[in-house]
Amino acid sequence: MSYAVLKMIHVGSVIVSYSLFFLRGIWLMQNSKNLRQRWVKILPHVVDTILLSSAIVLAIIIQQNPLEHSWLSAKVGGLLLYIGLGMVAMRFGKTRRIKLIAWVSAQCVFIYIALVALTKSPALSIG
């Protein structure tokens, strides 16, 4: 598979993954029954698997090691934080307020990850 096709798959899955997370957060805040639909419970995991797989293959193709490239380390660290915040927002938050704070925080982390990907700089080329 070519680099261009793989990158399109990766970027496309980023967009779908974030869109699903955003939608699920809206439904969560509305106490919507939509959250209990089977596809809502399965599709995000499928998309995120494609996203993570494409990220790993891209890193291998361009020979970028997170231990050697700070921007990639920042993306991996951001991803772990994003996943943790998402888990608090969608499952483990004890109160609606905690879930909302985690959901908004996860979106901020997502924006950071996307900006790091675009700038190839963990500091976002500031300073």
Q: For 58-116, what is each residue's pLDDT tens digit?
A: 999 989 888 888 898 999 999 999 999 999 999 999 999 999 999 999 999 999 999 99
User: In this structure, what token pair is assigned to residue 106?
Assistant: 């996860």
> pLDDT tens, 29-74?
999 999 999 999 999 999 999 999 999 999 999 898 888 888 989 9
Question: Residue ranges of the alpha helices (H) in the chain?
Answer: 3-29, 38-61, 70-87, 96-119
pLDDT at 126: 64
Model-level pTM? 0.87
As a whole number of Å, the end-to-end CA separation of the chain is 38
CB atoms within 10 A of CB 92: 12
